[in-house]
């Protein structure tokens, strides 16, 4: 049986289409959802100075599924 937990979704600039910071209770990590147009600004955030995994999502080559690239970095900022 799984234990309950809380996921918090923070709209960092108050815009639901902008940068989102995702946290989960009992977990020291953090997730960021960054629209491509805001990436240059968001990359300066402290979270990108940590070790982590990232996903880059783009339009599909063909069909309906998006193209996804998964990478890792220590720190993430140097890899993206």
Q: What confidence tens digit (pLDDT) does each residue in 8-26 have?
A: 999 999 999 999 999 999 9
Q: Give pLDDT, residue 21.
A: 95
Q: Is the pTM of this model over 0.85?
A: no
Separation CA 47–CA 44 (nearest Å): 8
Task: Write out pLDDT tens, residues 48-72.
Answer: 999 999 999 999 988 899 999 999 9
Determine the pLDDT at residue 8.
97
Quickly state the pLDDT bin for 1 (edges 50, 70, 90): confident
């Amino acid at each position: 049986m799984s234990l309950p937990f809380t996921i918090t979704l923070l709209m960092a600039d108050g815009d639901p289409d902008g940068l989102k910071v995702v946290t989960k209770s009992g977990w020291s990590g953090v997730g960021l959802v960054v629209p491509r147009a805001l990436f240059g600004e968001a990359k300066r955030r402290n979270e990108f100075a940590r070790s982590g995994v990232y996903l880059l999502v783009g339009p599909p080559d063909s069909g309906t599924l998006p193209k996804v690239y998964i990478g890792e970095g220590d720190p993430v900022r140097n890899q993206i």
